[in-house]
Amino acid sequence: MTLDEIAKMIRSCDKCPLSKERTQAVPGDGNPKSRVVFIGEAPGFWEDKEGIPFVGRGGKLLTKKLESIGILRKDVFITNIAKCRPPDNRRPTKEEVALCTPYLNAQLETLAPEIIVPLGATSGEFIFKKYGLTWTGMLKENGVEKRINTIFGEVKIIPVIHPAAVLRNPHRTDMFVDALKKLI
């Protein structure tokens, strides 16, 4: 299955109530041959409007900090666990996540990344659970590399503080950038 085929299925999905309130689904964006996949929690306001993940203030910070270490946004792939915006930017429910998980799994199998970067605690906890790892919290896991074996080979998982959390807590900028540097 191609990323375009998966995106088409995501855009037409009506399995949960989020599909009724969205402006549009947000499948993911970036290089289909990227060795790095970033996974956030769910689309926010701007992502829902534009149909592209991480285009709001947090996304702009992520793009800027990636460029500062020599990584262009167009060279990575970015997606979310949930593909539609939850009301008031709340966390997606377990049911919503369960209904979106097959899309994320299909994306990961298609991309076969070498590195998965969960952005933030919700994504980190989800990815760790998915691969049988113990989650100890975002601040403890930030930038700590784990290696796992998947159906598409060995993968590094490198959790990174969510850029929106860095905007709220600018004193964590260095932690954020240091974790991103593990990608190079």
Question: Which two tokens mark 136?
Answer: 């100890």
**CA of residue 13 relative to chain centroid, distance:** 19
Show me where the domains of the chain are located. 3-183
Residue 152 confidence (pLDDT): 86
pLDDT for residue 15 is more than 90: yes
Residue 146 confidence (pLDDT): 97
Residue 114 confidence (pLDDT): 97
Q: Which CATH class is domain 3-183?
A: alpha beta
Question: Which two tokens mark 74?
Answer: 């167009």
Residue (of 182, 105, 172) closest to 143 by Cα position: 182
pLDDT tens for residues 149-169?
A: 998 899 999 999 999 999 999
- Listed as own residue / partner, the contacts of 68-75 with beta carbons closer than 8 Å and 24 or more positions apart are 68/177, 69/177, 69/180, 69/181, 69/183, 69/184, 70/184, 71/36, 71/180, 71/183, 71/184, 73/30, 74/30, 74/31, 75/30, 75/31, 75/34, 75/36
What is the rounded CA–CA span in Å between residue 37 and residue 30?
Answer: 9
The pTM of this model reads: 0.96
